[in-house]
């Protein structure tokens, strides 16, 4: 067992996991184009209530989970609010949430990777442009 003072803090493990995401940025666009519900989730994620990660606590490694899953296991996400914000059923919100965690489109501290935000904004802008060409008027 590693002494508590020698263990990484939760914040250090989170930052390590966030930096690993930058290697898979090309997946963001492909994933979001194929499932627009992921765009919705990325857009609303910062507003979803979740318990705060204990960033200053020592991170305790778990033999059953990798670090990413262990971080998610430390918080509770209000999936009912997520469903309401996305405008989808609870079941759909749960499915999209699980997929977004696997794809690392959202982080357990309530943030979203910059590349995912840029992709979501670009896809939304493109959808609005297509809609306006087809006669849809924004209010």
**pLDDT score recorded for residue 14:** 92
Residue with tokens 């939304």: 124
- Contact predicate 10/56, CB 8 Å: yes
pTM to 2 decimal places:
0.81
**pLDDT score recorded for residue 42:** 93
52 closest CA partner among 135, 118, 110: 110
What angle, 0 to 180 degrees and rounded to 10, lies between the N-to-C axes of helices 79-86 and 36-44? Answer: 120
**pLDDT score recorded for residue 28:** 67
Domain ranges of the chain: 4-133
**pLDDT score recorded for residue 25:** 60
Residue ranges for the chain with pLDDT beneath 50: 1, 3
């Amino acid at each position: 067992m590693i002494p508590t003072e020698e263990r990484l803090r939760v914040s250090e493990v989170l930052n390590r996991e966030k930096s690993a995401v930058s290697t898979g940025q090309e997946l963001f666009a492909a994933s979001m184009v194929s499932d627009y519900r992921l765009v919705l989730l990325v857009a609303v994620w910062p507003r979803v209530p979740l318990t705060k990660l204990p960033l200053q606590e020592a991170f305790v490694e778990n033999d059953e989970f990798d670090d990413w899953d262990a971080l998610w296991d430390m918080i509770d996400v209000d999936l009912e609010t997520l469903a309401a914000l996305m405008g989808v059923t609870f079941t759909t919100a749960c499915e999209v949430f699980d997929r977004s965690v696997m794809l690392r489109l959202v982080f357990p501290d309530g943030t979203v990777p910059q590349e995912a935000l840029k992709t979501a904004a670009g896809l939304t802008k493109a959808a609005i442009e297509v809609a306006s060409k087809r006669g849809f008027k924004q209010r």
